[in-house]
Structure 1
């Protein structure tokens, strides 16, 4: 019986914690140089690991990176900088050249447009 009460208390506590976190998020979108499925995977997986980032979605049709984040842990400017360090443009910030050059050929800005 004690185990059941303990488990219920834990579940309620985690649920409340998750609900409380929802109100502490912000959303932002950046124009980016993403162009293919590999770009999408690279940005989503790398940016998704950053502190304060809760969700990343790359929209290839509009060439945007959409981020849900905790503004107490990371700022919009820091997110833009993180995108550039992955090798992609973020709004007016140009991609880090070394990171860009390390991207697969199809993901580089000079690559011809293609379908996935």
Structure 2
């Protein structure tokens, strides 16, 4: 009888832990955000390229930023427990760039180098 109780206890713990594990949400997401990049060197540009890396990586939850000026996209890896996609896109607009359906902040856009504007 004692062995049966121990078996049932262990079995119950395994079932409960398996259920908890299955309910864990994915915390790291990757988003490909469409933008407008008008020069062929924005990712490497001293003012623009460094903004993507320095400023965006300071945003809470953003872990990695990759700019593809040919495809006009910004790939962002972020932690969903610390931020969400809307906040990531808003951070990009504050740099002066469009982010999918969000338009660039006007003042930030005016601060870009002329080669990076339309």
The CA distance in 1 between the partners of 2:64 and 2:113, in whole Å, is: 24
The CA distance in 1 between the partners of 2:50 and 2:98, in whole Å, is: 16
- C-alpha RMSD of the superposition: 1.4
The CA distance in 2 between the partners of 1:28 and 1:69, in whole Å, is: 8
The residue aligned with 2:81 is 72
SS in 2 for 1:95: coil
Structure 1: runs of 5+ lacking an equivalent: 1-22, 111-116
The CA distance in 2 between the partners of 1:42 and 1:73, in whole Å, is: 21
The residue aligned with 1:59 is 68
1:41 matched to 2:44? The reply is: no
Aligned with 2:30 (options 6, 27, 30): 27
SS in 2 for 1:100: helix
SS in 2 for 1:41: helix
The CA distance in 2 between the partners of 1:72 and 1:33, in whole Å, is: 28
Q: Which entry has the higher C-alpha Rg, 1 or 2?
A: 2
Give the TM-score normalised by structure 1: 0.69
Query: Shift of the alpha carbon at 1:60?
Result: 1.1
SS in 2 for 1:55: strand
Structure 2: runs of 5+ lacking an equivalent: 1-25
Matched residues, number: 87
Q: Hey, which bits of structure 1, 4+ residues long, moved more than 6 A?
A: none
